[in-house]
Amino acid sequence: MNLAQHIDDPIFRIIGQEAKKLNIEVYIIGGFVRDILLSRPNTDVDFVASSRGIELAKACAKSLGMHKIDIFKTYGTAHFKYHLLDLEFVGARKESYRQESRKPDVEQGTLSDDQNRRDFTINTLAISLQEGNYGEVIDPFGGFADLERKTLKTPMEPDITYSDDPLRMMRAIRFANQLGFEIEPVSLEAIRKNAERLKIVSMERITTELNKIMMCEKPSVGFKLMFDTGLLQQFFPEVVKLQGIEKRNGIAHKDNFYHTLQVLDNICQTTDKLWLRWAALMHDIAKPPTKRFEEGAGWTFHGHEDLGARMIPKIFARLKLPLDHQMKYVQKLVLLHLRPIALTKEEISDSAVRRLLFEAGDDIDDLMLLCRADITSKNEHKVKKYLTNYEIVKEKLVELEEKDRIRNFQPPVTGEMIMSAFAIAPGREVGIIKNAIKDAILDGVIHNNYEEAFALMLKEGKKLGLTEAK
């Protein structure tokens, strides 16, 4: 097989020519080749040289007029960007592993050694950049056939492949999810056998793969594979505990693990925001510790939204996820995710809608997407009713936002104004008055404007025994 027509960018000829000057061979290898054959876009190009990979990278960068090049001597790699392409160079190598580490001992090797050390046959495919066989595919492990069969196999014995570098187990599931491939049965069993080896992998690496799974079109595929193979149990016990159905007095609750995955898949149909997808994954995270059976009421999960929001910082810290505004965004959506649903079950008051707008702020639209995704009942009548009421709530939100400007609510009367008006220092009276004004606006007692807020301030101050300063 020859793919010369797919690598017609002059840059590939130039790299081949620079390798010839150094009397070495160079090949494109891995994901870029795989994605050419799958007709998937990919701007990350990996080159493997028969030797002196860093030297080749320097020569290519100079020839292409690129002055910025990143060199990693420890790993024997070099990287630079050229237009839209990310180019990485490495000398061919072979690896050996120690039981307690996924970091290999590396020594110089051949192209065959380099292909042998790779994770999956579909990533061992290489394209020659030599003049004599430019574009020819080197495929010693049947990677092209596995691409056609949509099968993930390891070039070596899978038990060795996964034990040597346990992160490959997460990559197997990520590729299966991204590409719609099947992991061959022997390989899948090897993942189950080596699942506990994942503990030697840094959490940052695991989370990188997890986020890629989260960004798939249907992440539930990856989560089910992680659960079934025991990988999820190694780093995300809170999600694992959602699985299962308990029955008492003939009353059962739904399986919250599979419900959560359905919500996650639902939200993925409407957004590619990673952190909104995380909110979908975490929205019921506290149902296991809040689960109770109450006579006459059945199964309840009272307060799971509040406890779930409080659990998130610890989970984010353990998973090495960002602890700044992304975490607070997920917290907010988890805390509020029942509020719009509750509004669909009752007479919708302006006050309740204003308070929801106030607390959700600019994230109200994302919250509503999450709530819609959370409707997973198989009862068509119930779903129809919820969706109808959901649309009513949305219309009410738009109407009140246009009228009252609550989404980015700023008090018309500030704390400084209150202190100046009554000539008082900071203290509890200021807070009492500010809250009274906020509640009056949200409850529709007064409009969101300075005049009415100032008049209420004077009234509330009088109740507290304060006198307006002259």
pLDDT (tens digit per residue) in 201-222: 999 999 999 999 999 999 999 9
Q: Nearest to residue 389, comparing CAs of 343, 354, 338, 355? A: 343
Q: Check: CB of residue 93 under 8 Å from CB of residue 112.
A: no
Q: Nearest to residue 256, comparing CAs of 231, 289, 234, 222? A: 289
Mean pLDDT rounded to a whole number for the chain: 90
Q: How many CB atoms lie within 10 A of CB 400?
A: 19
Q: Is the pLDDT higher at 422 or at 102?
A: 422
pLDDT at 114: 85
Q: Nearest to residue 299, comparing CAs of 249, 340, 238, 265? A: 249
Check residue 250 and give left, alpha or beta (phi > 0: left; psi -120 to 50: alpha).
Answer: left
Q: How far apart are the first and last CA of the chain?
A: 91
pLDDT at 406: 66
Residues 338-390 have pLDDT tens digits of 988 777 666 677 788 888 888 888 898 899 899 989 988 777 877 787 777 77
* 214-237 residues labelled b (16+ CB within 10 A) or e (exposed): bbbeebbbbbbbbbebbbbbbbbe
- Tell me the C-alpha to C-alpha distance, in Å, between residue 457 and each of 60, 172, 406, 439, 470: 72, 63, 19, 12, 15
Q: Give backbone dihedrals phi and psi of 298, rounded to 5 degrees, phi first.
A: 80, -150
Q: Check: CB of residue 238 under 8 Å from CB of residue 311.
A: yes
The proportion of the chain whose per-residue pLDDT surpasses 90, expressed as a percent, equals 67
At residue 103 the predicted structure's pLDDT band, cuts being 50, 70 and 90, is low
Reply yes or no on whether the pLDDT at 106 is more than 70: no
Domains defined along the chain, listed by start: 4-143 (3.30.460.10), 150-235 (1.10.110.30), 415-463 (no CATH)
Residues 291-308 have pLDDT tens digits of 999 888 898 999 999 999
At residue 285 the predicted structure's pLDDT band, cuts being 50, 70 and 90, is very high
| Reported pTM | 0.85
Contacts of 234 (CB under 8 A, 6+ apart): 195, 196, 198, 199
- 29's enclosing H/E stretch is strand 26-29
Rounded-to-integer distance, Cα 413 and Cα 420, Å: 11
By residue count, the chain amounts to 470
Number of alpha carbons in the 13 Å side-chain half-sphere of residue 62? 8
Q: Check: CB of residue 210 under 8 Å from CB of residue 217.
A: no
Q: Which two tokens stand for residue 64?
A: 């292409």
Average pLDDT estimate for 228-235: 97
Q: Which two tokens stand for residue 320?
A: 């090495």
